[in-house]
Structures are given as structure tokens and as C-alpha cells.
Structure 1
Amino acid sequence: MFCMASPCRNLESRDECRSASRTGPRKKRNKTNPPPSGVIAVTQGAGVFHLTKDLVHNRQSFSRWSSPESPLWLLSGRFANNPRGWPVDFPFWLKKMLVDAGLGHWLPGSENISSSAHTIAQCSNRVLTAPFSCLNNMEESDTPPAPDFLNLAGGYLQGFSPPGASLPRSLPEAVCQLPEGSPGLREELSRYMASENQAVYSSEKEIAVTNGATQAIQLALDSLVNPGEQVMLPDPCPALHEHLVRCHGARPIWLQTRQEEGNLCFSLKEFSSQLKKCRMALFANPGNPCGGVIRTPRLQEMTSLARKANAIILWDCTLHELQFDGPPVHPGSLEDCRNYSLIANSLSVSHGLSPTRVGWLTGPEFLLSPCKALLKIQRNGASELGQRILLDHLHSWSRADWNRTLERLDQNRHQAYQRLCGMGLDPFWPAGGIWFWLPVWRRQSAEDFCQQLSQGYQVLLRPGEGFGPSGPGYVRLSFGVEEGRLDEALRRMELYLENKPFEARGPLLRAVA
């Protein structure tokens, strides 16, 4: 029996505690409410929680914390009312306490960082705030599959060759790299956004080139949001958004959303009340993973409410070019949105330029200036080679060629939707992006669904864990794949569902939600 209690405040009290524990009389245990046998008491403030020794000494049983009978499952209140016992993430204080006690390597998902207790103990608070259990899914989705696998879990286009993507033949011998990006690239980005998105930004004061859209979002968080403040996220949202918010030390506050005919819908009353508690709201448009699009009237209403709440809206527009139902509306083309919002952009997904790792952040000068100042301090901007690749691509890019690529993707979208509905599935209709958001049956978890497809039929899908609180029970399927491979992957899915007993399925999660 031992107790992990809060450390003493000063050296004198620590010495008193040590001497009292060695020489002092042992206090009698309260017989009216004794702790259960074989229990470790974990003290946090005035509350005492009990962890069984089996959970501490047996890694396998410690990982089985999703069961409602597990004490660890009860410690997390995030999904306390979830009857299915979806995986949850421990609160930061509990993670920190276990790590300080030398038990951090027993945390579920800690093996995704390191199996060594010493390594976990060296992690900063920013690393501990990240959800460990989702890191493995992110690594698996980024790992190239074997040649005989059909990958529908990817976050990029496969089998599509957007014109204009080419490597430069040479680089200047003497390059004076500016942290906010080369002037030539910023001027070309300003011209591109004005001609293609009807969004006018000054190349000198309102555009900063970043190391991908990820750094653009992280830069906005680091510059404008303090640790401990709240950031609004829609549910579901890209897995990376929650990771960036938590690693920054901010707290995500979730906005329930729904999708109607490709439009991303939510209650404006709830949005307004939640926004009053937040410093920033982070939205992807089109949405990832569901593909819902926020239209012009809702964009203007959101901006008006954000101004009243003195909050900032950060738009992730990396999928802006991938919209099918109607002309896309860029937030920067609307005057109110442009003057009171930051926009993270990239052509990595839509134009097949993922290896370049180049994105850009745009916004009014009073919002972008702090971001550019921090970028100059950190000195970790995009590489000169990546900037040259993007610049050459923009010079040779044409709207006619891009429209042909969109037509192929749109055909994939319609054909895959019909095939999935014919299998008895109920996918959300995506108005943008390259993914379907699929509910699975209530008697089967999304991870089991993806694992069985991968092991038995060599088809890769992305489970919904990590895409927000509503993600478990859903899978993400990409239709941004070459036509022949997509057709074969869907055929294998049909075989899998035909061989699956009907009684093992149960009702679809979406049908009874």
C-alpha cells in the first residue's frame, strides 16, 4: 500500500513529513469506510480516487479502461454517459500525476510516444496534453501501404496529376530567405487569390508564407491565444485541429453540427453563446471529414457574431478548391469576413503538392502582424525549394485543366455514393473535400470495421476516433483515388459486407442517433 499525494510546498514541511513517516505513530484507519483490498489511493486536492493494483501492474488490463466497470473509465467525465465505452483521453492533471509518480508509461496510448518510463517523464506539459491514443492512427494514415492494398484512408489525391506540378531546374546561388516568404511568391499568391477567389490581399502586409497550413494554424494560435483560453471547434473536425489546440495549452469547446444536403449546419444561438467564452473559433470550410460547406449567408452571420463577442475566426481553407455543388465562396471575398478573420491556406491536398510543405496565412494587418513577428522570431518558415516549386506551379496552372480534374472527382463522388448506398450504408453527401463520412453499425466499432477490411480484403479506411467527440462509430473513406482502384476497393467492401452475418450488424449508428 502506498499513496501518491501532492508534494509538500517547502523544504521544512517536506522534512517534517519524512520524519513523521519514519518515527511518528501510525494513524488508525477509519474502520467505517476502509479502502478496498489491494488498492492504491491517488490523491488530487480534496478528492481521493482508487486504482486497483491489477491495473497498475498489468499493462493489458490497464489498457482495458473503456469498460464501464473500470475505475479509470469513471475518472474521465468526457464520455461518462456513453454506453459503448468509446476510448477517452485522461484529463491533464491525472496524466501529470501519473507521470510524476513514475507510472506514465502505463497510460493508454503512451507506447505511441515511447515505451520507456524515463522518456515519458521528460515530456513537457505541451506533449502531455496531446491525446496519446490518437497518435497511432495519425502515424498509420501517413505510412505508405503495401502495393496490394487499396488505400481509401489517405488525406491526399491518388492517381490524379494536376498540371503544372514540377520541380525547378535550379535555385539561385545566393538566397536571402525571409521568414514570411519570398516577395515573388507572396505577389503571385496575391494575384492568384484575387483572380481565382476574388479575395484581395496585400502581398507585403497581409500574406505570410508558412511551412504548410499546419504551421499557419499553429502560428495563429501561438500569436493570438493564451494557454488556458478556450477555442471553439465544430464536431466533427479534422483530427489535427484538436491536437494543435490541446498542444498549445488551450481548451477546445465543441459546437454540435449537422449536415443537410452538403451544407454544414448548426444552431446560431449555441454558436453565439459558446463564442462568448472563446478567444478563437477554428473552422474548416469545406469540412473534414464530413465534406459540409458553409455558405455565404452563414459566413456573414458568423462574422457578425464574432465581432460582437470580440473573438477571432480562423478558417482552414486547404480544401477550398475541392467544391462541387455551386461556385465556391472564399471567406476573404466577403468584406466583413476578410477584415475580421484569419485564413490558413494550402494547395498541398487539392493540387498534389504535399511534399512541398508550403502554405500561407492571410488576414488584415492588425491580426497578421503578431503572427509575422512570431514567425521572424522562430525563423522556421517554408523552405526555399518548396517555395520555388509552388511558384512554378502557379505560373503554369490553368483553370481549364483544373476543371477537368474536378469533373473526374465529381464522377467518383456520384458513383461511390451510389455504390455505398447499395451496400446498405448511409454516407453523408459531401459538397466538398474528397471523403465520405460513413456511420457503421452499433454492434461494431469503427476500428474493428477498418481492421477487418484491412486484414481480410486489403482495403484501408480511416476510423473516426480523433475527429471529435462524435467521431467514434464513423469511418472516413476517400473517393479522391484513381477510378480503377476506387472501383476495386468498393467491390471488396461489397464482398466483406456480403460475408458479414446480418445479425452481427445491428442498426446503423446514424439511423438511430
Structure 2
Amino acid sequence: MSTQVKVKNRLSSTVQSLKPSGIRRFFDLAASMEGVISLGVGEPDFVTPWRMREASISSLERGHTAYTSNAGMLPLRVEIQKYLEERFSVSYHPETEILVTVGASEAIDIALRAILDPGDEVLVVEPCYVSYEPVIRLAGGVPVFLKTTMENQFKLTPQELETHITERTKAIIFCYPNNPTGGTMTAEEWKTLLPIIEKHDLMVISDEIYAELTYGRMHDSIAALPGMKDRTILISGFSKAFAMTGWRLGYVCASPDLLAGMLKIHQYTMLCAPTMAQMAALEALRHGRSDMERMIESYRQRRNYVVDGFRHIGLTCHEPDGAFYAFPSVASTGLSSAEFAEKLLMEEKVAVVPGDVFGESGKGHIRCSYATSMEQLKKALERMERLMGRLS
């Protein structure tokens, strides 16, 4: 005779309240169908360049399989410091202000957990990366959403920022170049926000994972502006610029007191980032710039092709200045983002992501990654044009 043990619900109320990723539903549906062209995955279609793979293989052959320092290999942190200073004019001390993490995602998580007390509000610039809201909630915080629009190229304005600040506001988090819109901010545009940030003593979490993927000009980091380094937590990694998504390697830079707090969490939850991935990243920073530049040029060409293609078939689309996403409006079709994406998948076998997955500001749009071959992009646009013809 079996005994059934009665237990209370084993999941916390916070975890129960989290919604499953809206991106995954379309990926899972697309994976069950044959002949689908996916413009949904936020991942380079390039294989990690050989020099990085070889460095990792060589480290394994030499038996470098032990833990590194909790903060990451010091030579890698030194190279990160040199790289950020040279490319983005922001300098961090490698021993006290740089922490190597298991992807930029871990860096976002520990940054929020390190600074938030229960009930603290975090301003989230929308449309935004899908993990920001749930990770804020898991850290005990309350997300407050700031709207950007295609009309202002998805840039954050001083008016929108000021309007949403309360006595509970602790920090603001954003990703520029932006996922999913490809929007960017210039140094002059950042400067219009600084008086508000300083007036309300806000902390800034700047997700700069797409910083290298800009077209026509260099990325401007908010951390490089006067007075901003000490109140900014800068997050980046190797996934996008160096085609190293599966290696799971990122880093976070902050003032020594903030970094020490994040290091505590990292020590207890991750210990250290994978040694073999750190060796590959070290090679990327020392000798992988030319590989990176070739990939960026390819993305630039694809961006131009895709944006022109969307406009040709009747979809309004702003020209993204960074990342590898286009965010066309489908409002003219009379369909919602989800309806359009589902119709496109089921009728023409093209997978895109509904814009409202990235927040209310994404309604009426779809995210299309152009990190795929020109041949696939051409076929996808042909299929989308057929659908648009039927809808019109």
C-alpha cells in the first residue's frame, strides 16, 4: 500500500508567476516543421573562428582543466581592460573592477542581485531583452517600463526617463545597441540623460553585448562619459562579436565595491567561468580582431539588404545602427505581432519573433535576425512578399 505524502506547493510564488519565454514557443513550433527558414535566433551564423577553437583545444591538450581565480584568469582581465580602453575609451582596473562571468546573462543576474533590496524599482528601457523582467523579479525588484518608439529610432528620451522615477527607483537597465530593435544612442544623446540620472542618484546597468556590432560609427558607452563610470555596471561578453555563443563567456565591469558584491554571488553560485572558454577569449582579444571585423562587414551588408527588402514588400522598417536585428512594423497588415508571426510560420515557413515578446513597446512589430546567409534572407523575403500579397 503506497503512502501519498501531502506537501505544499514546492515552487515559490515568484517562480510560479514568471511567464515562459515567448521566444521559445515559436522556436519549438518551427523545430517541429520541415523547411523552415528561421530569422528568430539571436545568434551569429558564423562558427567560432579557428584561432579561438585552436587555443581552447591546445589548453586541453596541455591539461589546463583546473579552476581559475573566481574573478577569471588575470591575463584575460588585463586584455579586457586594454580592449575596453582602446575601443570604447573606458578604463577598469583588471584586479578590482573586472569579473569574468558565465555569459553576459550571469553578469546581468548577479548585478541585479547585488544591488537590489525587496521592492526596489528598476527602470527597464523597452523593447528589451526578454530576461530583464524575470531576473529583476527573481532578485526581489519591481520592473518599471520605459517606452521607446520607431518614430524616435527607439532611443530613450529625457522626458520618458524623468516621468517614471519614484522614491523607490534604484537603477535603470538597458541594452544599446538594442536587442530587438537595433537602435543605438550617441554620446550627445546620453548627455541629455545624465542630469536626471545624477539628480535621482540612479545606478546604471548597461548591457553592451552588441557594442562591436555598429555600422558607420563606433559605439558610445555611457560609462565613458564624465561622472558615469562609478555609477555604471558595464556588461558585455564574447558571444556576439566573436561568434562564441556556446562558450558562455561574458564579463562585468564596475567600481571595486560593486564588483566585490557581485564576486560574492559569483563565488557561491558559479565559482569561475570555464577555463577552456577563457583561453579562447584570451586568443580572441589578442589576435581575433580581424575575424570580428569581417563578420561585422557581412552583417552590415545583410542589414542593408534586409531593410531594403522589408520596405519593398510594404513593411515600414527603421534602419538599425547596431546589433543584427531588424524590427519592421506589421501594423499596416491589420494583424497583431503574434498573428502575423504565426501566419508567416504556418503558411510560408518563415520563423520570426513577435515584437510584444520584448514588451508593450514592441507591439505591432516583429524581430527578424539577419545573422543568417544572404541566400536564406533572399528566400525569406520572397516568402514574406507572398504573404503580404495575400494580406493586401
Same fold (TM over 0.5): yes
Determine helix, strand or coil for the equivalent of 1:345.
strand
* Conserved? CA contact 1:162–1:405, under 8 Å: no
The residue identity in structure 1 corresponding to 2:318 is F
- Within the alignment, does 1:155 sit opposite 2:42 as a pair? yes
Moved more, 331-340 or 357-366: 331-340
Say which structure, 1 or 2, has more relative contact order (CA 8 Å, 6+ apart). 2
1:11-67, Cα deviation, whole Å (9 max, x unpaired): xxxxxxxxxxxxxxxxxxxxxxxxxxxxxxxxxxxxxxxxxxxxxxxxxxxxxxxxx
- Within the alignment, does 1:409 sit opposite 2:299 as a pair? yes
* Conserved? CA contact 1:321–1:328, under 8 Å: yes
- For 2:28 and 2:285, locate their aligned partners in 1 and report how far apart those are by CA, in whole Å: 26
How has the CA–CA distance of structure 1 residues 154 and 142 changed in structure 2, closer, same or farther, with 3 Å as cutoff? farther
- Within the alignment, does 1:348 sit opposite 2:239 as a pair? yes
* Conserved? CA contact 1:348–1:358, under 8 Å: yes
TM-score (structure 2 length as normaliser): 0.89
- For 1:346 and 1:324, locate their aligned partners in 2 and report how far apart those are by CA, in whole Å: 19
- Within the alignment, does 1:135 sit opposite 2:21 as a pair? yes
Determine helix, strand or coil for the equivalent of 1:480.
coil
Moved more, 270-279 or 470-479: 270-279
Report the Cα offset of residue 247 of structure 1: 2.4
Which of these residues, 326, 332, 335, is aligned with residue 436 of structure 1?
Answer: 326
Moved more, 383-392 or 204-213: 383-392
Moved more, 277-286 or 138-147: 138-147
How has the CA–CA distance of structure 1 residues 187 and 411 changed in structure 2, closer, same or farther, with 3 Å as cutoff? same
The residue identity in structure 2 corresponding to 1:135 is S
- For 1:443 and 1:262, locate their aligned partners in 2 and report how far apart those are by CA, in whole Å: 22
The residue identity in structure 2 corresponding to 1:156 is E
* Conserved? CA contact 1:343–1:362, under 8 Å: yes
What is the aligned partner in structure 2 of residue 209 from structure 1?
A: 100
The CA RMSD measured in Å over matched residues stands at 2.5
* Conserved? CA contact 2:124–2:145, under 8 Å: yes
Determine helix, strand or coil for the equivalent of 1:275.
coil
What fraction of aligned residue pairs are identical, expressed as a percent? 23
Determine helix, strand or coil for the equivalent of 1:315.
strand
How has the CA–CA distance of structure 1 residues 259 and 294 changed in structure 2, closer, same or farther, with 3 Å as cutoff? farther
What is the aligned partner in structure 2 of residue 125 from structure 1?
A: 13
How has the CA–CA distance of structure 1 residues 239 and 381 changed in structure 2, closer, same or farther, with 3 Å as cutoff? same
* Conserved? CA contact 2:174–2:206, under 8 Å: yes
- For 1:353 and 1:143, locate their aligned partners in 2 and report how far apart those are by CA, in whole Å: 26
- For 2:385 and 2:8, locate their aligned partners in 1 and report how far apart those are by CA, in whole Å: 43
* Conserved? CA contact 1:344–1:362, under 8 Å: yes
- For 1:317 and 1:391, locate their aligned partners in 2 and report how far apart those are by CA, in whole Å: 19
Which of these residues, 272, 275, 279, is aligned with residue 165 of structure 2?
Answer: 275
What is the aligned partner in structure 1 of residue 185 from structure 2?
A: 294
The residue identity in structure 1 corresponding to 2:123 is M
Unaligned runs of 5+ residues in structure 1 are 1-117, 503-513
Determine helix, strand or coil for the equivalent of 2:298.
helix
1:429-463, Cα deviation, whole Å (9 max, x unpaired): 21111111122236322222112222222211011
What is the aligned partner in structure 1 of residue 3 from structure 2?
A: none
The residue identity in structure 1 corresponding to 2:36 is F
- For 2:194 and 2:202, locate their aligned partners in 1 and report how far apart those are by CA, in whole Å: 9
1:461-493, Cα deviation, whole Å (9 max, x unpaired): 011232112333321011121111111111111
How has the CA–CA distance of structure 1 residues 194 and 150 changed in structure 2, closer, same or farther, with 3 Å as cutoff? same
What is the aligned partner in structure 2 of residue 29 from structure 1?
A: none
Report the Cα offset of residue 325 of structure 1: 3.2
The residue identity in structure 1 corresponding to 2:246 is P
The residue identity in structure 2 corresponding to 1:385 is M
1:308-340, Cα deviation, whole Å (9 max, x unpaired): 212201000001111113222123333422222
- For 2:376 and 2:152, locate their aligned partners in 1 and report how far apart those are by CA, in whole Å: 27
- For 2:128 and 2:92, locate their aligned partners in 1 and report how far apart those are by CA, in whole Å: 27
Rg larger in structure: 1
Which residues of 2 match residues 41-60 of structure 1 at below 5 A? Answer: none
Unaligned runs of 5+ residues in structure 2 are 1-5
Q: Tell me how many residue pairs correspond in the alignment.
A: 380
The residue identity in structure 2 corresponding to 1:456 is E
How has the CA–CA distance of structure 1 residues 178 and 434 changed in structure 2, closer, same or farther, with 3 Å as cutoff? same
- For 2:337 and 2:153, locate their aligned partners in 1 and report how far apart those are by CA, in whole Å: 23
- For 1:287 and 1:169, locate their aligned partners in 2 and report how far apart those are by CA, in whole Å: 35
How has the CA–CA distance of structure 1 residues 144 and 333 changed in structure 2, closer, same or farther, with 3 Å as cutoff? farther
The residue identity in structure 1 corresponding to 2:12 is S
How has the CA–CA distance of structure 1 residues 397 and 209 changed in structure 2, closer, same or farther, with 3 Å as cutoff? same
How has the CA–CA distance of structure 1 residues 385 and 173 changed in structure 2, closer, same or farther, with 3 Å as cutoff? closer
* Conserved? CA contact 1:227–1:249, under 8 Å: yes
What is the aligned partner in structure 2 of residue 93 from structure 1?
A: none
1:280-320, Cα deviation, whole Å (9 max, x unpaired): 10011111211111110232343332222122010000011
Determine helix, strand or coil for the equivalent of 1:318.
coil
TM-score (structure 1 length as normaliser): 0.69
- For 1:363 and 1:291, locate their aligned partners in 2 and report how far apart those are by CA, in whole Å: 25
* Conserved? CA contact 1:212–1:358, under 8 Å: yes
- Within the alignment, does 1:328 sit opposite 2:219 as a pair? yes
Which of these residues, 57, 61, 66, is aligned with residue 168 of structure 1?
Answer: 57
* Conserved? CA contact 2:52–2:280, under 8 Å: yes
How has the CA–CA distance of structure 1 residues 119 and 495 changed in structure 2, closer, same or farther, with 3 Å as cutoff? farther
Determine helix, strand or coil for the equivalent of 2:122.
strand
How has the CA–CA distance of structure 1 residues 261 and 136 changed in structure 2, closer, same or farther, with 3 Å as cutoff? closer
Report the Cα offset of residue 377 of structure 1: 3.2
* Conserved? CA contact 2:121–2:144, under 8 Å: yes
- For 1:162 and 1:175, locate their aligned partners in 2 and report how far apart those are by CA, in whole Å: 24
The residue identity in structure 1 corresponding to 2:278 is Q
1:160-206, Cα deviation, whole Å (9 max, x unpaired): 76564414323345624322212122112112212222221111000
Determine helix, strand or coil for the equivalent of 2:307.
helix
How has the CA–CA distance of structure 1 residues 318 and 453 changed in structure 2, closer, same or farther, with 3 Å as cutoff? same
- For 2:245 and 2:48, locate their aligned partners in 1 and report how far apart those are by CA, in whole Å: 13
Determine helix, strand or coil for the equivalent of 1:178.
coil
Report the Cα offset of residue 159 of structure 1: 4.5
